[in-house]
Amino acid sequence: MYATANMLLTSSQAHAAEQSQETAIEVVLVKAVLDGDRDGFTRLYDLYAPLVHGILLARVPRAEVDDLVQDIFLHAFKKLHTLRDSSSFGPWIAMIARNRAVDFYRRSRETVEINDELRGSNTQDSRAAEILELIRNLPEAYRETLVLRLVEGMTGPEIAARTGLTAASVRVNLHRGMKLLREQIGFMEGL
Amino acid sequence: MNDDYLWDKTGKPDPQIQQLEEILGALRYQPKPLEIPKDVSLPQRKNYFPWLAIAIAATVLLTILAGGIWLRVRTRDNTPKHEAQVGPPPRVEEKAPLPVDPKPDSRETVVAVNKHRSRSSAPVLSKQEREEALQAKEQLMLALRVTTEKLSLVHKKTQITNPANQIKNQHRVG
């Protein structure tokens, strides 16, 4: 079972057309973990960490993201038995990540300074932090999709499959979000 | 704007999107090993069996109880026996003296009891008894309905249902 999952995992990352295989991987890995295979969860982590990272990056300070990713997967490990549909692991952990981002601001509303946290040491990082800040100022519907596409390098079909959103929604969010981002970048460079 | 490239990285690349990908790629996830403390145990599947067993046991018990009540009401032997009473024969005026019968009239009261009839046919109930029986029947039906609902609920909980929409509070965007 594990070997099969490993094989599927390697092949699924190649192309968006293999999304159905990715769902099969989720099912196999979730069942393996529930049957006592701890390493199966490491595979799930490898597969879904970029998604969780992207969701958090669109919402919380960059310095907090890595720790939160670990926390979220640890929480998911403890609560995996509550997941009813094994093929919905992606949407499930995406929901946990969004909720954790909300909790983060509830707990530390007064102390977070996003702009300062995002400033990088070199020019490239600084430029990246500025654009990320622009993305974060876009309507919520577009932030996450744009970060997953432009930062994490996922394709639209991959974003749809992993987040549980419809392909049409993702496509619209990408298109409109990109249009707004172009306007924002043009406005910023015009100053 | 080249939508295909933005959508699935096919078609003619959009230079501005490529530039954004290059710049923002610096923030991309850097793989780090997952650290799960050893004292954190593996999750266990939820076991619905005890609930199912309790529900089935409760159903059987309830059915037996209700059935017992129903049978008791039905078979309560309160029905009056059908008796045919024959009174003393009409006296015939003795106009002429008849020979005196030395035997006493042993058939003065004849009672005929039809024992088989009460077994084979439906009992005749009084109005009050009929109301009681109907009330018991209603209670039985209600108990069975409640039991059926509970069993249905347990069945739903034990089954994996509606896999397309398991995630609650999912933020649908767009």
Residue A128: which of B26, B44, B166 has the nearest Cβ?
B26
With CB atoms and an 8 Å threshold, state whether A92 touches B166: yes
Per the CB < 8 A criterion, the answer to whether B30 and B42 are in contact is no
Smallest Cα–Cα separation from B123: which of B69, B76, B71?
B76
Greatest mean pLDDT among A90-99, B11-20, B34-43, B121-130: A90-99
**Radius of gyration in angstroms for the set of CA atoms belonging to chain A, rounded to a whole number:** 17
Q: What residues of A are in contact with residue B35 (Cβ under 8 Å)?
A: 70
Which CATH number fits the domain that encloses residue A38? 1.10.1740.10
- Residues A132, A57: Cα–Cα separation, whole Å: 9
Q: Is the pLDDT of residue B165 over 50?
A: no
The better pLDDT of the pair B84, A37 is held by: A37
pLDDT tens track for B14-67: 999 999 999 999 999 999 998 888 887 776 665 556 677 788 888 899 999 998
The better pLDDT of the pair A20, B160 is held by: A20
What pLDDT score was predicted for residue A151? 96
Q: Is the pLDDT of residue B88 over 70?
A: no
Q: What residues of B are in contact with residue A77 (Cβ under 8 Å)?
A: 36, 40, 43
Confidence of residue A156 (pLDDT cuts 50, 70, 90): very high
The better pLDDT of the pair B89, A23 is held by: A23
Q: Is the pLDDT of residue A20 over 80?
A: no
With CB atoms and an 8 Å threshold, state whether A153 touches B173: no
Q: How far is CA B48 from CA B45, B62, B166, in A?
A: 9, 21, 18
- The answer for residues whose C-beta is within 8 angstroms of residue B66's C-beta and 6 or more apart is B139, B140, B143, B144
Total domains in chain B come to 1
B67 lies in some domain: yes
Q: Is the pLDDT of residue A103 over 80?
A: yes
What pLDDT score was predicted for residue B23? 93
The mean pLDDT value of chain A amounts to 83
The H or E element containing residue B86 is strand B83-86
Region A6-21: mean pLDDT is: 49
Kindly identify which residue of chain B lies nearest to residue A170, measuring between CA atoms: B174
What is the residue range of B136's domain?
48-76+125-157
What pLDDT score was predicted for residue B53? 79
Smallest Cα–Cα separation from A57: which of A173, A163, A178, A151?
A151
What pLDDT score was predicted for residue A105? 87
Q: What long-range pairs does B58-65 form, CB within 8 A, spacing at least 24?
A: B58/B147, B58/B150, B59/B147, B59/B150, B59/B151, B62/B143, B62/B144, B62/B147, B63/B143, B63/B144, B63/B147, B65/B143
ipTM associated with this complex: 0.79
What pLDDT score was predicted for residue A15? 46
The mean pLDDT value of chain B amounts to 75
What is the residue range of A40's domain?
2-190
With CB atoms and an 8 Å threshold, state whether B17 touches A171: no
Q: What residues of B are in contact with residue A70 (Cβ under 8 Å)?
A: 32, 34-35
Q: Is the pLDDT of residue B85 over 70?
A: no
End-to-end CA distance of chain A: 58
Q: Is the pLDDT of residue B174 over 50?
A: no
Confidence of residue A90 (pLDDT cuts 50, 70, 90): very high
Total domains in chain A come to 1
Confidence of residue B100 (pLDDT cuts 50, 70, 90): low
pLDDT tens track for A41-82: 999 999 999 999 999 999 999 999 999 999 999 999 999 999
DSSP assignment letter at A147: I
DSSP assignment letter at A151: I
The residue type of B27 is L
Q: What residues of B are in contact with residue A169 (Cβ under 8 Å)?
A: 172-174
Q: Is the pLDDT of residue B144 over 80?
A: yes
Question: What is the number of alpha carbons within 13 Å of residue A151 lying toward its C-beta?
Answer: 30
What pLDDT score was predicted for residue A8? 43
pLDDT tens track for A124-143: 778 899 999 999 999 988 99
B52 lies in some domain: yes
B113 lies in some domain: no
Helix (H, G, I), strand (E, B) or coil at B110: strand
The better pLDDT of the pair B88, A105 is held by: A105
With a pLDDT cut of 90, the percent of chain A lying above it is 60
With a pLDDT cut of 90, the percent of chain B lying above it is 23
What pLDDT score was predicted for residue B2? 62
